[in-house]
Each structure stands twice: as C-alpha cells, then as structure tokens.
C-alpha cells in the first residue's frame, strides 16, 4: 500500500465518523464486537449505556452487554443485571437481575456480590434471606468493597442490636470506620 492511499483512507474515515455520530474508538469496538470479542462487546455495551463516543441507546447497550455476559464476562454479567434491575433497555425483572448478579458474584466480582447481597436482603427477585445477604456482603467486604462492608455492619447491628463497632464477625479492618454512602450499579 502506498502512503497516499493510507492518508486518503484516514482522511475519509475522519470525515465519515462525525457523520455517523460515532468516535473512532467506538467504531473500532463495534468492529471487534461484531467479530464476537467479549471485551469489545462489553466496551461497546458500556459506551451505549453511557453515551460515550456514541449516542446513548439502552436497547443497544443491553444487546451488546448480553452478548458479552453470555460469553461469561463477569463485568458484563453485572452490567446486564443492573439493566434488568433498572429496566433500562430491557423489561424490568428483579429475578433476572439476581440471576445475572449470581453469575458475576460466583466469579468473584465484589460489586456483583454487593448487589446480590442487596437482592437477598430486600427480596428483590429472590426470597429474603438475611444470612445469604450477610454471606455475600462479607465476601465482597473481604475484597475491599466499602459499600458491602457498610451494609454488613448495618445488617449485623440491626440483627444483634450490638454497636456497629463490635466484632460480630466483621473483618477488623472494616470495624469502626465511617463508610461512604455508595451503591454499586454501573453503567
């Protein structure tokens, strides 16, 4: 290939991308996602969910995140779960959200463990089970998730009416700390 052809191709690409409303990195992600690459599908789904480099489109976000989630990508499983929990791009379905959180949580993703614990605590799509919520939040807290640690402290303080700084099986590093208010869902 000669240099003139390459320069012309890049110039043409630069002229076409603004017309399509798509950034170059989003365009590259689209091509890789269409080839079936799970990481690219996650990236593209996240871009559509956030409107980053493409026009925000929840249905497209759900489509690409689902493809990545079906390939076993934990982050995509969490994200598609959040879409089901919020009804963005898919019908709202707490049971389906919990199912996807479980898949990601089983792979060790702390944010999914936090969300699954919340689903068990509140009975969102699954029966209320405080012990199961406790278990998932403990697992996430041990990996450093401050939101899970905060929920764990509150749950145990309510259950045993003990001060939040008491041991109650909470990892020492998390006791008596002021935890930031935070909820996990991403996108």
pLDDT, one tens digit for every residue, the chain (187 residues): 444 443 333 433 443 334 344 555 566 778 888 899 999 999 999 999 999 888 999 999 999 999 999 999 999 999 999 999 999 999 999 999 999 999 999 999 999 999 999 999 999 999 999 999 989 999 998 988 888 888 778 877 766 544 444 454 444 444 444 443 344 444 5
Q: Are 74 and 43 in contact (CB under 8 A)?
A: no
- Please answer whether residues 93 and 125 qualify as being in contact, where contact means their C-beta atoms are separated by less than 8 angstroms: yes
Residue 21 counted as domain residue: no
Q: Please give the pLDDT value at position 150.
A: 83
29 in a domain, yes or no? Answer: no
Which pair of tokens denotes residue 158? 């309510």
Cα-trace Rg, the chain: 21
CA angle 182, 66, 123 (to 5 degrees): 45
In a domain, 86, yes or no: no
pTM beyond 0.75: the answer is: no
Q: Is 124 a domain residue?
A: yes
The reply to whether 55 falls in a domain is no
User: Which range of residues forms the domain containing residue 112?
Assistant: 94-187
Residue 19 lies in a domain: no
Distance CA 187, CA 177 (A): 28
Domain contains 27: no
58: helix, coil or strand? helix
Per-residue pLDDT at 109: 95
Structurally, the chain folds into a number of domains equal to 1
187 in any annotated domain: yes
């Amino acid at each position: 290939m000669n240099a003139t052809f390459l320069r012309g191709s890049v110039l043409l690409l630069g002229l076409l991308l603004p017309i399509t409303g798509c950034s170059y990195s989003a365009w590259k992600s689209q091509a890789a996602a269409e080839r079936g690459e799970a990481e690219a599908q996650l990236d593209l789904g996240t871009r559509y969910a956030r409107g980053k480099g493409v026009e925000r489109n929840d249905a497209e976000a759900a489509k690409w995140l689902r493809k990545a989630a079906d390939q076993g990508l934990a982050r995509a499983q969490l994200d598609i779960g959040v879409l089901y929990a919020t009804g963005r791009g898919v019908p709202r379905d707490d049971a389906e959200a919990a199912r996807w959180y479980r898949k990601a949580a089983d792979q060790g993703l702390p944010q999914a463990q936090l969300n699954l614990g919340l689903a068990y605590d509140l009975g969102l799509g699954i029966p209320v089970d405080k012990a199961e919520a406790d278990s998932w939040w403990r697992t996430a807290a041990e990996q450093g998730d401050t939101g899970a640690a905060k929920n764990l402290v509150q749950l145990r303080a309510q259950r045993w009416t003990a001060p939040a700084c008491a041991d109650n099986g909470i990892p020492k590093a998390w006791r008596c700390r002021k935890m930031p208010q935070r909820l996990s869902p991403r996108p």
